[in-house]
Amino acid sequence: NACLQSPAMQSSQSLWGLDALDGKLDDKYGFDLTGEGVNVYVVDSGINVRHPEYEGRATNIFTADTVKNQEQDDCTGHGSHVAGLIGGKTVGVAKRVNLFGLRIIDCGKTGSVSDAVEALNFLSTNMKMPAVINLSLGSTESLRGDTLPRALNALARRGASVVIAAGNSEREVCDTSAPSMTTVPNTFVVGALDRPSAQELARDNYNPRRAKFSNFGNCVRWWAPGVDMWSTANTTIDVQGNRMAFESRQGTSQAAPLVAGVLAHHLQANPNLTPSELQARLA
């Protein structure tokens, strides 16, 4: 078990999400698997591939037409934060995965259904198996309609494990009468768990509970830590002019990549597992 430490963090409790994943709050992260050989695709705002946390394992492979004139790899930092939680060498769940960024969110923190579908269609002909696709796109309400669910369903049928953040509107999101990302079969819709109190941390007596902001419903079958999640930042410039360091964020956007990392563990051990088989293992 590796002790949870990182520069720029005040204590190992800053990585409580990793600590909670292995079932015991002991300031250690106890998984032996690393996700090596698994390909995780982050459909988001891009990845700051120069960050040392990724150890050269991160590559941006797609940029939507609407954001091609933006200078930075990731000007919002959101995609970099998500990628770090999946596969950062210190802050990540699966510390040896291959990370691929698909940039559909612009510097104004906006994106569109058409850009998301364009990215997913790109993956339909370019993804390498075994594959996990992470979509931490925030508002599931603004992404309603059947175009995006059809694209996600096609990738799931091809064997990709699709992980979707449930959203942060504190509402039920599983109405099957209105097609949305959260109602696509054989995908992993993830809600956020709140951070344990200081007393719970001290006593190793964490009672998992939904973060107040997290969406919910019967389609939200997977839950992971999503409050005060430290990961890779794209906001601090070091002496060489590179954007580095770490920062804390919260949301179902931070919970989903933890599940993506766990799926990478399973796929490392058995690359032929289907999404439905993985669902049964994580149930």
Given 78, 81, 265, 266, the catalytic residue? 78
Given 6, 14, 19, 44, the catalytic residue? 44
Given 80, 253, 265, 266, the catalytic residue? 253
Rg (CA), the chain: 17
276 is catalytic: no
44 is catalytic: yes
Residue 259 structure tokens: 């599940």
Q: Give the total residue count for the chain.
A: 283
CA distances from 155 to 151, 160, 174, 215, 248 (A): 7, 6, 20, 24, 31
The whole-angstrom separation of Cα 128 and Cα 39 is 7
11 is catalytic: no
Catalytic residues: 44, 78, 253
